[in-house]
Amino acid sequence: MIEDQEPFEDLRLGSGEVSGFRRHGAAGNKNAFKGLIAAEYSGVKVELVKNFEMGVSNKTPEFLKMNPLGKVPVLETPDGPVFESNAIARYIACLKDENPLLGASRIEQAHVEQWMDFAATEVDRSLAWHLYPRLGYLPYSQVTEETAIASLKRSLGALNTHLASKTFLVGDSVTLADIVVTCNLYLGFARILTKSFTSEFPHVERYFWTMVNQPNFKKVMGDVQQAVSVPPIPKKTAPAKEPKTKDVKKETPKEAPKPKEVEAPVEEEAPKPKPKNPLDLLPPSKMILDEWKRLYSNTKTNFREVAIKGFWDMYDPEGYSLWFCDYKYNDENTVSFVTMNKVGGFLQRMDLCRKYAFGKMLVIGSEPPFKVKGLWLFRGQEIPKFVMDEVYDMELYEWTKVDISDEAQKERVSAMIEDQEPFEGEALLDAKCFK
């Protein structure tokens, strides 16, 4: 796992208390933070073991007996060593009977494990492939970075939705889930995720800063500062020029000296053009999406006569398709602001298709449970595959293609664009537009 390849800490646990905790990497190692913060909450004392030298101490036979991979951190206990940072944090938490860090019930314990796995497989992996190439630890590739960012946004979007009405990930107090997720987010916030990036996920922002300012977190992590810029892409260096060997036998003194070769300056490789989106390769459409969006935005009066009529005049059923969506789990929409935040998060994640889509999302009802229904205009005859692949919310909705030959469906499209109220006999709690 990438997370445990960094120069982290080596913990050594004695009987009862921890005797000898060795830090052998640079300050700010997120994986060692996990065990240390768990120790603070659990009343376990930890001290650093001195003189650990990464690249030397972890190559010794003694260390390799504890972890044959030579990776850190490692926790040495009376019953044997433990490696992998999440396992170390869990072991330390288990030293305290009925530790609330582990969850207050079986389902909470499962949820703690769930979010710890999420932190490792979703957050940490995506952050690593975004950050490490820019730090020079891995080869840089634009395609790889774009994939990592899309994956990271998907993960943070899911986390943002979960945290919309919660202070902690599980239950009403800090658990190992919060410790692990926060520590895995730490490297991103501190090194590459600037405010302009994280502002798309306000609940994640609020959660992260709440966690790192908890006394037990702050005691270990210190004051955390957010990155103000993204590390630049490392420049490629020219390969070293091999010295020419002089061949005495073939040397001809009478031959005129050859002009001295001038080595061309090394230039950074030009970035490869981004592959075209398949939607850009479709035949031209008579409908210009930006013109419709301008008409929608600029129509302030007589909306039905101007904007709706204009939409149907512009609409190209060969170049575009219309889709209704209905949220599958409306019985869960019991809190108004949480429901509206859920829709807002969905629209944020749809930003990757702004060039190819227009949408309306309605939150319907005057009392819970609230219904969420939407209308989407997409370029092409199907919902774009890259949207289905990247926006996890898509599977939370039932999607139905609009048949514009059906006058009732066509009128429903017009009503949703117009934010008609009442809509299908019910009040509108909120209406949001994606344009």
Question: Tens digits of per-residue pLDDT, 30-65?
Answer: 888 999 899 999 998 866 666 777 778 778 888 888
| Structure confidence at residue 169 (pLDDT) | 96
Q: CA-CA distance, 77 to 226, in Å (whole number)? A: 35
The reported pTM is 0.53
Higher pLDDT, 220 or 81: 220
Which pair of structure tokens corresponds to residue 67?
């972890």
Q: Is the pLDDT of residue 258 over 80?
A: no
Higher pLDDT, 298 or 19: 298
Which pair of structure tokens corresponds to residue 328?
């599958």
Sign, CA dihedral 388-290-420-377, equals negative
Cα 3 to chain centroid distance, Å, stands at: 16
Which pair of structure tokens corresponds to residue 122?
């979703």
| Structure confidence at residue 335 (pLDDT) | 87
92-106, 190-204, 208-222, 269-283 — which is least confidently predicted?
269-283
15-29, 34-48, 233-247 — which is least confidently predicted?
15-29
Could you give phi then psi for residue 181, rounded to 5 degrees? -65, -45
Q: What is the 3-state secondary structure (H, E, C) of the chain?
A: CHHHHCCCEEEECCCCCCCCEEECCCCCCHHHHHHHHHHHHHCCCCCCCCCCCCCCHHHCHHHHHHCCCCCCCEEEECCEEEECHHHHHHHHHHCCCCCHHHCCCHHHHHHHHHHHHHHHHHHHHHHHHHHHHHHCCCCCCHHHHHHHHHHHHHHHHHHHHHHHHCCCCCCCCCCHHHHHHHHHHHHHHHHCCCHHHHCCCHHHHHHHHHHHCCHHHHHHHCCCCCCCCCCCCCCCCCCCCCCCCCCCCCCCCCCCCCCCCCCCCCCCCCCCCCCCCHHHHCCCCCCCHHHHHHHHHHCCCCHHHHHHHHHHHHCCCCCEEEEEEEECCHHHCCCHHHHHHHHHHHHHHHHHHHHHEEEEEEEECCCCCCEEEEEEEEECCCCCHHHHHHCHHHHHEEEEECCCCCHHHHHHHHHHHHCCCCECCECEEEEEEEC
pLDDT tens track for 349-390: 898 899 999 999 999 999 999 999 999 999 999 999 999 988
| Structure confidence at residue 239 (pLDDT) | 55
pLDDT tens track for 175-201: 999 999 999 999 999 999 999 999 999
Closest CA to 154 of 348, 286, 315, 21: 348
Instruction: With cut-offs at 50, 70 and 90, classify the pLDDT of residue 267.
Output: very low
Which pair of structure tokens corresponds to residue 88?
């170390």
- Domains (ranges, CATH) in the chain? 2-94 (3.40.30.10), 100-221 (1.20.1050.10), 281-434 (3.30.70.1010)
Closest CA to 62 of 116, 15, 137, 10: 10
Q: Is the pLDDT of residue 431 over 90?
A: yes
Residue pair 428/419 in contact (Cβ under 8 Å)? The answer is yes
